[in-house]
Amino acid sequence: MSDWTDSLDLYLAPDLAHSALIIIDTQVDFCDSGASPIPGSTAVLPTIASLLAVYRSIGLPISYGTRLYEGDDVDLVRRSALPDGASIVRPGSAGSQIALKLWSESAGELDATSLLAGRFQEVGISEVMIWKPR
């Protein structure tokens, strides 16, 4: 059985040994039971967890891009819900945390203060959390 990369042009084939895994918006509030679910988010968590396990085992870089809604920095599609009382990825809330299937228990909780100040949060070996402003 041939590897799927055999059919790719040499210049287009992925170089996994020199790659990074970027995981975006996998927060509790965006999962099926969250405050603002994105359809399909929960269903892909096992696949993302498998990729994470591979990247962690090899020691390749992993970056999580997260949303934290504070002030005017709210996606337009959700902006009208916040004044009406919705609590979506608010700094420090349970819904702002990374989905548990992906998160290492030793990483602790998101440091919203540092993230909102533009600093990275180290959450593991070669793993960082960043805040993704709108």
List pLDDT tens digits, range 21-54. 999 989 999 999 899 999 999 999 999 999 899 8
Which residues span the domain enclosing 101? 20-131
Q: Is 112 within a domain? A: yes
**CATH (domain of 89):** 3.40.50.850
The count of structural domains within the chain is 1
**pTM of the entire structure?**
0.81
Which among 64, 60, 59 has a CA at the least distance from the CA of 24?
Answer: 64
Contact criterion met (CB below 8 Å) for 102 and 24: no
Please give the torsion angle defined by the CA atoms of residues 51, 55, 61 and 65, in that order, rounded to the nearest 10 degrees.
Answer: 20
